[in-house]
Amino acid sequence: MFAKVDVNGDDSAPIYRWLKETIPGDIGWNFTKYLVNAEGHVVKRFDPQESPESVGAALNELL
């Protein structure tokens, strides 16, 4: 269980600041997803409207 944290603005949590520095843009909704490779690099950002299949296809490319 996680505590509520800010994802945008001056009080955003460090993980979200890092994600948004890597692929710029505010996170508009809590179902925004980021794909991170084995080396810890952000590969792609997925907006909430993108299907799980599109996330799966990108994940399969990394495996």
pLDDT per residue as tens digits for the range 16-31 = 999 999 998 888 877 8
pLDDT of residue 1: 54
- Distance, CA of 31 to CA of 48 (rounded, Å): 5
> Contact, 34 vs 59, CB < 8 A?
no
Please list the ranges in the chain whose pLDDT falls under 50. Answer: none
Which residue ranges make up each domain of the chain? Answer: 32-63
State residue 63's pLDDT score.
Answer: 87
